Chain A
Amino acid sequence: MKKKLHFSKELKLCFILSSLFILCCQTVFAQSNVTGTVSDKSGSLIGVGVQVKGTSTSTTTNENGVYTISVPDAGSAVLVFSYIGYTTQEVGVKSRSTVNVSLVESASDLNEVVVVGYGTQRKKDLTGAISVVKAADVNKKQGTTVAESLQGLATGIKVRGGGEPGSEAQIQIRGLKNLSMTNPLYIIDGLITNANRDFNPADIESIQILKDASAAAIYGSRAANGVIIITTKKGAEGPMKIEFSGKSSIQTIPRYDLAETDEFARINFMAYDNAKLKRQELDLSNNTDWQDVAYRTGNMQDYNLSFSGGAKDATYFVSGGYFGNKGTVISTDFDRYSFRVNTKGTKGIFTIGENLAITSAKKNEMSANPIVDIFRMLPTIPVYDPSHPGGYGYGDEVKARTFGTNPLAIANLEDRVNQNLRIRGNLFAELQLLKPLKFRTSLGYETSRDHYTYLKKDGFWTLNQAYDPAIFNENRAESSTVLVENTLTFNKALGKHTLNVIAGQSYQKDNYGMMWGTKRNILLNQTTGHYYDVLDQGDEPKTGGFRERVDLISYFGRLEYNYADKYLLNAIIRSDGSSRLGKDYKFKSFPSISGAWRISKEDFFKSSWINDLKVRANYGTVGSGNIGPYDYIALINTFSTVPFGPNGHTQPGGTQVKLANADLRWEILQQQNYGFDASFLNNKLTVTAEYFISKTKDALLQYPILISTGNDGGNPFVNGVTLGNRGMEFTATYSENSSDFKYNVTANLTTLNTKILDLGYGKNKTFVGNTVTEVGRPIGMWYVLQTDGLFQSADEVANYKNAGGKVIQPGAEPGDIRFKDNDGDGEITNKDKVVVGSPWADYELGLNFGASYKGFEFSMDWFGSFGAKVFNGPRSVMDNFSDNSNYRAGVQPWTPENPNTSIPRAFYGSTINARGDTDRWLENGSFARMKYIGISYNIPNKLLKGIGFSNARVTLSGQNLITITKYTGLDPEFSNTSIFEKGFDYGAFPNLRTVSLGLNFGF
């Protein structure tokens, strides 16, 4: 009920604001626009690219097939209409103000216009590796962030996502090229930002992914991990269009099959008996399913309403959205309210516009890690126990020795809320100085006001917990980004020569400031049972805060040259200077050059079955300097305090805690990319293939340094590693659109081979956790002891000797693990560890299938990753028997009666069979997953007219419903943020199964 109320308020607000905008638009701006409707034989076309020929001015048609575009000279201008699967048409404006066009299907998508950063290009003119993702494909999936929805929609994109309400996905483009931060750069309407959880994906009109160095070079120093360019929706000339989309989803979390009390007790007693210890006094009257306690069915609600329209010389787009996610883990949820206004107006040679989004997001965060606690808690522990302070059940020294956290207790006793208000927008103005020359200036601003609160109530959630009173912590932060960019664009066609040049300058300033306060003994209101969660209450106050600032100055230019659509040349240079880097290393230039040859346009090329063939080659450099603002400066930590004297008078301290490398410089990625684009069989089959070789030099990373340095607070950044990447991407699409039954199939394949070419500080290898990273191999190879089955008898133990006749594991008993004595010294030590596998996939495969018949549409996306070896952290807890945790149902530890098993004998209280540094916990991480399946029905126009709707569609879809894998953990598609331990599943939050029902309509 509450939500509905909010919704109607929003609606009202939208109406008022949009009416205001319409008024503004109509009174302020003069005219020089062309508008019209683009359609095909069955009706209007949405998202058709419209470009003024020979310029970079472009737009797309809206939901009703209507476009509006400003034309420098209505008499001579020619409009280029391009649309996936249709033949491009060029139409002269001839001083008309309305130009309606009917397109003919061609089944080729090469005529799209794509945004390439500070401008657009026709897709067929591309010389670099750029993927285009359709907004419709992104929006059909239900995700919190746009990144989650990208997987499987483009080659070379790897997404490891979320699951938890408000969590943000990790995204990687073309593998690992960088060790400090692997997220790509996001550009939203020209603003360099982050499409994080407070960005509403429903506002997206198009997404372009710049994958190789030549394409991304225009963003220079920040483009090493690729660039994702997002364009938000704009209005079009015509009466106001109202669009509504609503989606409602239910979500479930994958679960383990865990032992119940009977089975748990049997194995637990066995573990104690084998260790010759007195059994625990398990309370067999309980049989708690901790997964039932911690998990629930989640749901998502996603509603968006937009209003758009405009006059010939001014357009507006206003949208409001609500997104709510009730988490699959108790006491977690996420809410987002978003609001956007995009407007644009033109008078003569002058154009002005703005994009503005305001979002409010609130996340009720998860406490502890229930994904792990559901098996660290035993089934014999009751959920509630009135004898404990706070009233919750947890471990007991005699009855249930575990330090597992009661997930319900911590969910109720700890409240963590993270909310923010973000304003993100830009104001731009364009001046058509001369016919071929345009000046554009853009002022971008983004700010986020963050507010975090933490309340710990009185009560316990784990065994022997230290007593703390009620504590309240509050934290407020403010970030802002100012971006000023100026560009000059020169555009000229002379006969068969077309030249497009852009030169620009950019300045960006990022500020962040944070302050926090905390108090103890927070007052409880006995009447309501609630704490006064304000900093006025309580005692023992502590506060703190800090600020950060980063400045970036850039100059850039791009030259595009096209001769008769046959020869294409693209050159880019960007020079960036950053305050993050060492004093003498601030500035660096990043050049790139790329070329393409459209063989199919040559006279000698005669082929009846090849419609288009273009080969491309390029070389480029991009950079990365994504480190902290002051990492090159050795700083003094002034936080230490010491109490001296009879009254414990506190004196301040000051010392260097973290070492710093003063000579930090840009990390450089050099990349060569070779590819071809071809279409065959009347454009029914299109193929794109890319091969790339890249080298990351001076990669910035926090290379592990020796403990003897005394360093703490994280390893200092160093320009240490040189990484080599080689990979291949292949995409093929087959579409059949000639009959009522239309379908298309796209397959994409990515292979990637990453190697360390050189390691930091002149070293050969480095060890982190159970991994080794060494020159000539990928990062973070598994480096563990090898197991060799179980000892079945005392004879086997006695006969397990090295060459010198020494018994290797004299203390072992039947049922214990036999380890390989790889160095042959007759003992199992760290020297026996060897490299046993790679955490990286050999190849990844995406498969997309779409079909339509009359009003029905069906689509399905699969994603598969093959060849990675991963460490199942949760299983290393459940199967180890040395510590009390719940066990997997049906687990068969070795017993004399049941020797045919790979699980060693259960033995409590010793790490001997349970050690974590063995290959016992490594598993095949290959998987194939149906990421999406959906069916939609477009209600026929005849039926709609009666109720005044122009279009209506119902969609039923599912995500992550089928996963094929041998991995025994919850989700083979987990993520780990440590670069050296990428394949380590520590109990990551799994991807959820989601079923959604969506409704879209417009009027």
Chain B
Amino acid sequence: MKKIISKIFVLCTLVLMFSCKKELLNQDSPNTLTVDQFWKTELDAKKGINAAYAMFYQNGGWNRWIYFRLDLTSDEGWSNSPWTELGDWTRFQYVNYNFWEGNVNTYRDTYKAIFRCNQVLTFVPEIPFGDEKAKSEILAQAKFLRGFYYFYAAILWENFPIVTTIQKPTDSPQQSSLAEVWAQVEKDLTEASADLPEQWTGDEIGRATKGAAQALLGKALLQQHKWSDAKAAFDYLVTGAGKNYYDLVDYKDNFRAENENNKESVFEIQFSDANKTGEGDGPSSNMGSNRAQFFAPRSIGWSDGQARFWLVNEFKKEKTIDNKVDPRLRYTLFYPGLEADFGDKIYGRSWEWGGDEAWFKKYSRDYMRSNEDYFNQVNNRVIRFADVLLMYAEALNELGQTADAYQYVNRVRTRANMVGLATAYPAIGNNKDMFRERLKAERSLELCGESVRWADLKRWGDLDTKENVDKVALRDPDFKNFVVGKHIRLPLPQVEVDNNTNLSQNPKY
């Protein structure tokens, strides 16, 4: 009996002993594909480009913090946040260059987006497609998005290291000059424009179009004062082959969840409240915008950002044809006279804030609910046709074709029921400088709170001299902290400068 037991016992254990095969050590992830298994099919390519679009939903970019850089740092907005450091980063008090919310998060998410574009541009050319056009459209979208992110990198940090390949953990890119970054933007957008469709249809609407690439290219060229090239780029939308795709619509339809992707929309970030969870790379991550939650008035939202009151005054300077308040004010700002002027309440409340305070209204949902949250579904019309018209007028004016520029400004004014520019301001005539000054006002009235002002100030040279900055500071006292030659660009994250020996910190930081 004993012997039998022991024999069975030894046998069993011997079997166990040798059943351990080394193949057991090759365990693939049961959860998802490996990089080697992906990038094989047309569907993979489409998923790849979709993931690049999904970067719009992350905190560093158009989901949240970019608005602090573009809107609040400009003279349109400011921060009275109880979170002092957050506020300091909208008033040129940059102490800790590694401040996540003010700098590093946006810098990081810019590179995350570029990484996604670079993956598409690296792998998709090798994927066999039944329809080569579909392939070229995917590649063109990746170039558009990469150009888009480099555009804002040029606006924010200027000397932003260009990365156009998939990085290894060991890679340390060289520093790039602003001119090099602009060259990259132009190259990407030019190439994108060549292959992007003029329009998307059905469930693909919202992707980048040829017009979007041309408009962003024009905007990049305008920023570099390449007036003639900029005009040429805008031609497609205004006078060229694409002109029938674009028009102006009811003003409020540019800022609401209804009538999205309309004729005025040139490039629009698609937001959705389908996933009410946190942002990031997890399952069912939020596809909404946090902007309204952060900008909504005190006790409705975080109230971390608000509008400067000079904007209200600017709107009140000129009445409409029928002697009413500029209707654009109604959809642009929450201000003390909103209810008196237009009969609108603020998220259902009467004015309960300071007499000299104003809050950004565009993309808010006050017209449909009494509060905000992190899941705002209102698309952001990053570039809309009215902006293109005004930029077109600006290019023409700088090229000395001032008379020709009037009609484009007037298209925008007419929509707002304002009288023609020549009638309202007869003194301007064909004076280039006066026309430019008026155009600045026209842009703020039309586009205030749409994240274009910081680039405008830079382009106009309003931040290049102490004298000009002092004028801006009259509208926004935060600019008293502005040091010429320093605050025109953000500091690079210090941790990146320290850890990448090829980098030097931006001047004066």
Contact = CB atoms under 8 A, between A and B. Distances in A.
Contacts of A915: 95-96
B206 A644 contact: yes
Interface stretch (A47-55, A164-172, A529-537, A646-654): A646-654
A707 B27 contact: no
B54 A401 contact: no
B34 A634 contact: yes
Given A466-B301, A629-B27, A911 B85 contact: yes
Nearest to B270: A643
A398 B42 CA distance: 57
B25 interface: yes
B340 interface: no
Interface in B198-242: 200, 202-207
A468 to B, nearest CB: 7
Contacts, number: 301
A637 B119 CA distance: 13
Contact of B499 (A520, A639, A704, A713): A704
B50 to A, nearest CB: 4
Interface string B39-61: 00000101110111110000000
A466 B373 contact: yes
Contacts of A484: 16
B58 to A, nearest CB: 9
A793 to B, nearest CB: 24
A909 B107 CA distance: 25
Interface in B50-90: 50-54, 82-85, 87-88
A244 interface: no
Contacts of A868: none
Contacts of B52: 653, 655
Contacts of B17: 486, 505
A461 B134 CA distance: 51
B329 interface: no
Contacts of B206: 643-645
B178 to A, nearest CB: 17
Contact of B84 (A637, A762, A883): A883
Contact of A643 (B16, B30, B287): B287
Given A553-B20, A637-B32, A767-B495, A645 B205 contact: yes
A439 interface: yes
A367 B25 CA distance: 40
B87 A657 contact: no
B62 to A, nearest CB: 13
Interface in A607-636: 629-630, 633-636
Contacts of B302: 464, 466
Given A656-B35, A708-B111, A709-B111, A349 B48 contact: no
A655 B119 contact: yes
A638 interface: yes
A464 B298 contact: yes
B93 A910 contact: yes
Given A431-B10, A711-B115, A641 B96 contact: no
A547 B95 contact: no
A652 B83 contact: no
B34 A639 contact: no
A712 interface: yes
A711 B373 contact: no
Interface string A889-919: 0000000000000000000111110111100
A709 B47 contact: no
B177 to A, nearest CB: 16
A655 B48 contact: yes
A765 B498 CA distance: 9
A635 B9 contact: no
B116 A655 contact: yes
B303 A638 contact: no
B270 A579 contact: no
Contact of A640 (B25, B108, B285): B285
A375 to B, nearest CB: 15
A659 B166 CA distance: 10
Interface stretch (A33-41, A538-546, A677-685): A538-546
Contact of A431 (B6, B50, B167): B6
Nearest to B353: A397
Interface in B8-45: 9-10, 13, 16-17, 20, 22, 24-38, 44
Nearest to B14: A486
A964 B261 CA distance: 67
A89 B33 CA distance: 64
Contacts of B82: 395, 397, 401-403, 463, 883-884
Contacts of A994: none
Interface residues of A, number: 105
B355 interface: no
Contacts of B505: 830
Nearest to A709: B167
B483 to A, nearest CB: 11
A718 B276 contact: no
B161 interface: yes
A540 to B, nearest CB: 6
Q: Give the interface size bracket for B toward A.
A: 35 or more
Contact of B274 (A650, A704, A766, A909): A650
A909 B50 contact: no
Contacts of B275: 542, 641
Contact of A657 (B84, B271, B281): B281
Contact of B20 (A507, A637, A645): A507
Contacts of A706: 167, 171-173, 496, 499-500
B30 A654 contact: no
A601 interface: no
Contacts of B284: 542, 544, 639, 641
Contacts of B54: 640-642, 653
Given A635-B33, A659-B169, A645 B204 contact: yes
B169 A467 contact: no
Nearest to A761: B170
B25 A578 contact: yes
A829 interface: yes
A645 B171 contact: no
Given A466-B374, A579-B24, A718-B169, A640 B13 contact: no
Contact of B2 (A350, A643, A653, A655): A350
A553 B272 contact: no
B417 interface: no
B425 to A, nearest CB: 39
Residue among A350, A507, A709 facing the most chain B CB atoms (10 A cut-off): A709
A544 B169 contact: no
B116 A542 contact: no
Contacts of B168: 659, 709
A911 B371 contact: no
A347 B27 CA distance: 42
A162 interface: no
Contact of B283 (A441, A542, A633, A642): A542
Given A706-B499, A712-B112, A641 B287 contact: yes
Nearest to B50: A653
B274 to A, nearest CB: 6
B107 A577 contact: no
B499 A763 contact: yes
A464 B30 contact: no
B496 A761 contact: no
B276 A639 contact: no
Contacts of A550: 27
9 contacts: A347-B2, A441-B13, A549-B27, A551-B27, A586-B22, A641-B285, A643-B287, A884-B82, A914-B84
Interface of B: 2, 5-6, 9-10, 13, 16-17, 20, 22, 24-38, 44, 46-48, 50-54, 82-85, 87-88, 93, 95-97, 104, 107-108, 111-116, 118-119, 161, 163, 167-173, 200, 202-207, 260-261, 270-272, 274-277, 281-285, 287, 293, 298-303, 371-374, 377, 493-496, 498-500, 505, 509
Given A542-B275, A707-B493, 9 more contacts: A466-B374, A484-B16, A548-B31, A586-B25, A644-B204, A708-B172, A709-B167, A709-B168, A883-B82
